[in-house]
Copies of this chain bind each other. A is one copy, B any other.
C-alpha cells in the first residue's frame, strides 16, 4: 500500500520516451509541441493600421488626400509632410506616415482631410515586430496547443506542426457478471458500464482508445486477453479483477505477461485496490471495478500519465480551492476524493459517496479532496479538481 503522494510521485518519476509526428494545423488542438517554435519573421511583418481611417504624414489638423491603401495592398505610397491616405484596418502603413486617425474623428471636403483633434506620433499604428520579432521564441518545446496557439501558428504561415504523438490506449473490462447494454441478461448479472465512463473520460480530454475488449473471470482468458491487448498499445487500462477475490486474475496475469508492479493499493477512498505497472515502454493501470472508484482513479492517476506521455508541461487536472458550503468531516478513515459540486463558487460535498454510486458523480462537477480525519467548517477552503 502506498500513499496518494507516493503513487503520484511514482507516476511522475517514470522515465518515458516520446514519439512525434507532423500534424496539420487544423488537427493539432490538444497536442504538445515537439520543438521550440522560432518566429520566421516579425509579427506584424509590417507597420499596419489598427483602425479604419487615415494615415497622416506630419502632425497637422489638415491634410491633402493623395490615395488609398486597403488591407492586402502591396503598393508603397511616398507621403510628404501634410499629405494623408485613406487606410483600412490591417493595411500596410506608408513608410513616412506619422500616425493614423480613426475615420470617426475626421471629415473630408473635396480632397482635403480635416481632423477633429490633433494626432499623436505613432497613434493607431501597430508596429512591425510588436508581437514577435524574427528569431524570437514563440513557444517553448512542450507548449500545449490551445485555440489561440493555433491562431498564432497560422499567422506564422505554419500549415503543419511537429507535435508529440498521443499514447495508443487499449481498454479491458473483466467480470463474468457483465453483459453489454442492450443485450438480455439473467438474475445476478449486471450491465457493463465502466468502459463507457473510461472511453468518455478519454474523449473529454482529447484521447481515444484503440481497442476495447471484454474478458471473462478465467485465468487463461485473462492472461491471453492481456497479452493480446499489450501487442497494440502504449497504455492498457483494465477495469475490475484486481481485488483479492478468488476470481481476480488480473494481477497474476499481468505478472505472467512480464508486467512489473510499480504500486498496488493506494491508501485512499475510493479506489484503494488500484494497480500500476510497467513492461518496457508500456504502462498498465488496473482500476477497481466500482464505477466511482474507477473514474476517480482515472482522473487522479491515469490522466497525469497520459499527459506525460503526450509531452505536456503540466500533468493532470489543476487543483483549485473554493470555500465549502456546509461543514464536513472526513470520517471514512482514509484520505478521500469526494463527489462534489462547485456551484456559484462554493463547494458542496454530495450525498452518495459510496464506491458504487455514480449518479452523484454525474450530477456533480468536481472531485473534492479531504484528508483523513480533516474537519472543514463553513467557508474553509477545499481542494477541488473540476471534472465537468
Contacts and interface: CB of A to CB of B under 8 A. Distances in A.
A357 B131 contact: yes
Copies in the complex: 2
A345 interface: yes
Given A147-B198, A152-B362, A154-B196, 10 more contacts: A52-B244, A89-B289, A90-B177, A132-B359, A146-B200, A150-B200, A157-B182, A157-B185, A158-B181, A158-B182
A204 B30 CA distance: 8
A181 B131 contact: no
Closest 3 CB pairs of A and B: A159-B182, A154-B193, A72-B177
A144 B193 CA distance: 17
Interface stretch (A42-50, A114-122, A274-282): A42-50
Contacts of A176: 70-72
A152 B193 contact: yes
Nearest to A184: B157
A242 to B, nearest CB: 11
B29 A151 contact: no
Interface residues of A, number: 105
Interface string A137-170: 0110001111111111111111110000000000
A138 B352 CA distance: 14
A193 B345 CA distance: 35
A311 interface: no
A145 to B, nearest CB: 8
A237 to B, nearest CB: 13
A151 B387 contact: no
Interface string A36-77: 000000001110001010000000000000000011111100
A357 B138 CA distance: 12
Given A151-B196, A243-B89, A72 B295 contact: no
Nearest to A158: B181
A321 B345 contact: yes
A291 interface: yes
Contact of A358 (B45, B151, B204, B292): B151
A13 interface: no
A82 to B, nearest CB: 23
Contact of A52 (B30, B243, B295): B243
